[in-house]
Structure 1
Amino acid sequence: MTDVTEFKCWPSCVDAIDWSQDGIIALASDERVELLFPNTVSFDRDQDAPQWQHVSLRVPLFSSAELAVKEPSPLSAYSIGEEISSSVPIAIAWSSPGLAKHQRCALATLTTNLVLSIWSADGKPQEESSWSRRLIVNHALKRYFLSSTTNESINSAPTSKEQMRLSTRVRAFAWAPALPCSGPNGIIGTRLSYDQHIIAVATDNKQVVFVVVDSPTSTLGVNQGWSAEVRTHFALTPDSESCHHEPIFFEDMMKQQTHISHITWSPWVHRDKCYRSVVVYATNKDVRARTITYTDHRIELGAEIVYQGIQLRYDGPLKWYPEVQNGSTFRLALFTGTGLVYLTISAHDASIIKQVVHELDGRCDLISATAWDIDQQRTVRLHFSSLLSTLQSPTAVLEVSSGGLTSLPSPNWRDQIENNLVLFSVKNDLKGNSKAKVWGLTTSPLGDFIAACSSVHPSDMIEYGPPSERRGTIAISNLRLYSELRKSFPVRHVSAEGIIFTVKKLVENTVEESDQMPAFATEIQDKLMQAYPPCQDPNSNYSILATYRDASDLIALLNAFKKITFLNVNTLRDRYTILLSQACNIASSNMLPRTLIAHRLATALQHLPSSLFQTPFSAEIFAHHRQLISLVDSLIKPDNSPSELTENLDVANNVSRQSPVATVDDTTARTDPATLGEDTCDFCSAPIPFTDPTSAICTKGHQFPRCGLSLLPIQAPGITKYCGICSTPFLSEEFVTAQEVEVQEEFGRFTLSRVLFLACDVCIYCGGKYVE
Structure 2
Amino acid sequence: MLGPLELPLYPSCYDCLAWSADGELAIAAGEHIQILTPKNPAARAEHDSSQALNNWHSTRFRVNVFTNNEWPTIYPQNRDNFSLGAEQSLSTVVALGWSPPGLAKYRRCVLAVLTSNLLLSLYEPVGSQGKWTRLTIVNSLLRDHFKSSVQDDALGLRKSNIRSFAWSAPLKLPVAGHAAATYSVPPVESRWGFHLLSLANDDNDIVFLRAQRSSTEPSSYTAEVLSVTPLQDLDIYPQIHPSSIFATTLKSKTKILSMSWGPWLFATGKKQKNFVTGNLAVVYGTKLKAIQLDVDLASLSQGTSPESHAASVVSSKENTSICHPDLDAYQVKGPLKWLHKEDSKNIYLAAGSFAGLLLLSLPEVSDRAKESGSKQIHLQEFPFYETVEEEADDGPRHLEPITAMVMTSDTESQAVLHLATAGGYTAAKTFDEGIEDSLSVVPWKRQFDDMREKYDFDRDLGGLAVARVWGMASYDGMSAVATTVHPGDMIEYRTAAEERLTIIIYAPDEAQPEAGTSPTPSNNLAEKREAALGYILHSVDEDEERPLSSKILYATACSAIVESDNKEIRSQAHKVLVRLATVTGADLNEELSKCSASKTTIASKPGEELDGAGAQIFERCEICDAGIAWYSNQEAQCAEGHVFVRCSLTSLAIQDPGSSKLCSSCGREYLNEDGIDTSESELQSSCRMLFDAFDTCIYCNGKFRA
TM-score by length of 2: 0.79
Structure 1 partner of 2:158: 166
Superposed, 1:567-586 pairs within 5 Å as: 572-575=522-525
Structure 1 residues 310 and 2, CA gap change in structure 2 (3 angstroms): same
Structure 1 residues 604 and 199, CA gap change in structure 2 (3 angstroms): closer
Structure 1 residue identity aligned to 2:230: A
- For 2:383 and 2:80, how far apart are their aligned partners in 1? 41
Q: Are residues 1:252 and 2:248 paired?
A: yes
Structure 1 residues 308 and 160, CA gap change in structure 2 (3 angstroms): farther
- For 2:585 and 2:281, how far apart are their aligned partners in 1? 59
Q: Are residues 1:116 and 2:120 paired?
A: yes
Structure 1 partner of 2:362: 345
Q: CA offsets per residue over residues 30-85 of structure 1, 9 Å max, x none?
A: 12111111237579775347111111121122122322122233345463521121
Structure 1 residues 300 and 326, CA gap change in structure 2 (3 angstroms): farther
The Cα of 1:758 is off from its aligned counterpart by 1.0
The Cα of 1:405 is off from its aligned counterpart by 3.5
Query: Is the 2:540–2:576 Cα contact (8 Å) retained in structure 1?
Result: no
Structure 2 residue identity aligned to 1:367: I
Structure 1 partner of 2:303: none
Structure 2 residue identity aligned to 1:208: I
Query: Is the 1:270–1:276 Cα contact (8 Å) retained in structure 2?
Result: yes
Q: CA offsets per residue over residues 189-241 of structure 1, 9 Å max, x none?
A: x995222211111111121011111114xx6x797731122111011144279
Structure 1 partner of 2:630: 690
Superposed, 1:618-697 pairs within 5 Å as: 618-632=549-563, 664=580, 666-667=582-583, 678-697=618-637
Q: Are residues 1:20 and 2:20 paired?
A: yes
- For 2:2 and 2:515, how far apart are their aligned partners in 1? 14
- For 1:438 and 1:423, how far apart are their aligned partners in 2? 16
Q: Secondary structure at the match of 2:266?
A: strand
Superposed, 1:83-482 pairs within 5 Å as: 83-122=87-126, 127=129, 129=131, 131-148=132-149, 160-179=152-171, 182=174, 192-216=190-214, 225-239=220-234, 249-271=245-267, 272-296=273-297, 297=300, 298-305=313-320, 307-310=324-327, 313=331, 315-323=333-341, 326=344, 329-346=346-363, 347-349=365-367, 353-361=377-385, 362-375=397-410, 379-390=414-425, 396-407=427-438, 409-444=440-475, 446=476, 448-479=477-508, 481-482=509-510
The Cα of 1:677 is off from its aligned counterpart by 5.2
Q: Secondary structure at the match of 1:69?
A: coil
Query: Is the 1:258–1:283 Cα contact (8 Å) retained in structure 2?
Result: yes
Structure 1 residues 739 and 24, CA gap change in structure 2 (3 angstroms): farther
Query: Is the 1:627–1:661 Cα contact (8 Å) retained in structure 2?
Result: no
Structure 1 residues 619 and 376, CA gap change in structure 2 (3 angstroms): farther
Structure 1 residues 598 and 675, CA gap change in structure 2 (3 angstroms): farther
- The structure 2 residue matched to 1:712, chosen from 635, 649, 652, is 652
Larger mean CA deviation between 72-81 and 412-421 belongs to 72-81
Structure 1 residues 742 and 604, CA gap change in structure 2 (3 angstroms): closer
Larger mean CA deviation between 689-698 and 251-260 belongs to 251-260
Structure 1 residues 80 and 308, CA gap change in structure 2 (3 angstroms): farther
Q: CA offsets per residue over residues 250-298 of structure 1, 9 Å max, x none?
A: 4322234332222211011122222111112221152221321111322
Structure 2 residue identity aligned to 1:472: L
Larger mean CA deviation between 168-177 and 299-308 belongs to 299-308
- For 2:566 and 2:64, how far apart are their aligned partners in 1? 63
- For 2:144 and 2:58, how far apart are their aligned partners in 1? 36
Structure 2 residue identity aligned to 1:453: A
Structure 2 partner of 1:579: none
Query: Is the 1:623–1:676 Cα contact (8 Å) retained in structure 2?
Result: no
Q: CA offsets per residue over residues 345-382 of structure 1, 9 Å max, x none?
A: 24434966211111111222231111123357563321
- The structure 2 residue matched to 1:766, chosen from 689, 692, 700, is 700
- For 1:180 and 1:375, how far apart are their aligned partners in 2? 28
Structure 2 residue identity aligned to 1:455: T
- For 1:431 and 1:668, how far apart are their aligned partners in 2? 86
Structure 1 residue identity aligned to 2:705: V
- For 2:479 and 2:366, how far apart are their aligned partners in 1? 33
Structure 2 partner of 1:71: 75
- For 2:335 and 2:455, how far apart are their aligned partners in 1? 29
The Cα of 1:703 is off from its aligned counterpart by 1.2
Q: Secondary structure at the match of 2:538?
A: coil
Structure 2 residue identity aligned to 1:24: E
Query: Is the 1:180–1:270 Cα contact (8 Å) retained in structure 2?
Result: no
Structure 2 partner of 1:551: none
The Cα of 1:608 is off from its aligned counterpart by 1.5
The Cα of 1:16 is off from its aligned counterpart by 0.7
- For 1:659 and 1:400, how far apart are their aligned partners in 2? 57
The Cα of 1:304 is off from its aligned counterpart by 3.5
Query: Is the 2:158–2:201 Cα contact (8 Å) retained in structure 1?
Result: yes
The Cα of 1:573 is off from its aligned counterpart by 2.2
Q: Secondary structure at the match of 1:410?
A: coil
Structure 1 residues 691 and 739, CA gap change in structure 2 (3 angstroms): farther
Structure 1 residues 408 and 209, CA gap change in structure 2 (3 angstroms): closer
The Cα of 1:614 is off from its aligned counterpart by 7.4
Q: CA offsets per residue over residues 128-148 of structure 1, 9 Å max, x none?
A: 62x111111111111111122
Query: Is the 1:723–1:771 Cα contact (8 Å) retained in structure 2?
Result: yes
Structure 1 partner of 2:391: none
Structure 1 residue identity aligned to 2:580: V
Paired-residue identity, %: 26
- The structure 2 residue matched to 1:47, chosen from 28, 49, 58, is 49
- For 2:656 and 2:468, how far apart are their aligned partners in 1? 52
Q: CA offsets per residue over residues 514-571 of structure 1, 9 Å max, x none?
A: xxxxxxx9xx87xxxxxxxxxxxxxxxxxxxxxxxxxxxxxxxxxxxxxxxxxxxxxx
Structure 1 residue identity aligned to 2:337: K
Higher relative contact order (CA 8 A, sep 6+): 1
- For 1:79 and 1:387, how far apart are their aligned partners in 2? 27
Q: Secondary structure at the match of 1:210?
A: strand
Query: Is the 2:170–2:196 Cα contact (8 Å) retained in structure 1?
Result: no
Q: CA offsets per residue over residues 389-443 of structure 1, 9 Å max, x none?
A: 32xxxx5112234444434553332221211222223334444332111111111
Q: Secondary structure at the match of 2:453?
A: helix
- For 2:94 and 2:361, how far apart are their aligned partners in 1? 29
- For 1:183 and 1:616, how far apart are their aligned partners in 2? 24
Structure 1 residues 324 and 252, CA gap change in structure 2 (3 angstroms): farther
Structure 1 residue identity aligned to 2:170: A
Structure 2 residue identity aligned to 1:12: S
- For 2:517 and 2:124, how far apart are their aligned partners in 1? 27
- Give the total of aligned pairs: 620
Structure 1 residues 224 and 47, CA gap change in structure 2 (3 angstroms): closer
The Cα of 1:502 is off from its aligned counterpart by 8.1
Structure 2 partner of 1:733: 673
- For 2:130 and 2:626, how far apart are their aligned partners in 1? 41
- For 1:707 and 1:251, how far apart are their aligned partners in 2? 67
Query: Is the 2:563–2:633 Cα contact (8 Å) retained in structure 1?
Result: no
Structure 1 residue identity aligned to 2:23: G
The Cα of 1:661 is off from its aligned counterpart by 6.1
TM-score by length of 1: 0.73
Structure 1 residues 737 and 240, CA gap change in structure 2 (3 angstroms): farther
Q: Secondary structure at the match of 1:148?
A: coil
Larger mean CA deviation between 261-270 and 408-417 belongs to 408-417
Structure 1 partner of 2:532: 601
Q: CA offsets per residue over residues 709-731 of structure 1, 9 Å max, x none?
A: 11111112321110101111111
Structure 2 partner of 1:489: none
Q: Unpaired segments of 5 or more residues in structure 1?
A: 150-158, 486-498, 505-520, 526-571, 576-592, 639-657, 745-750
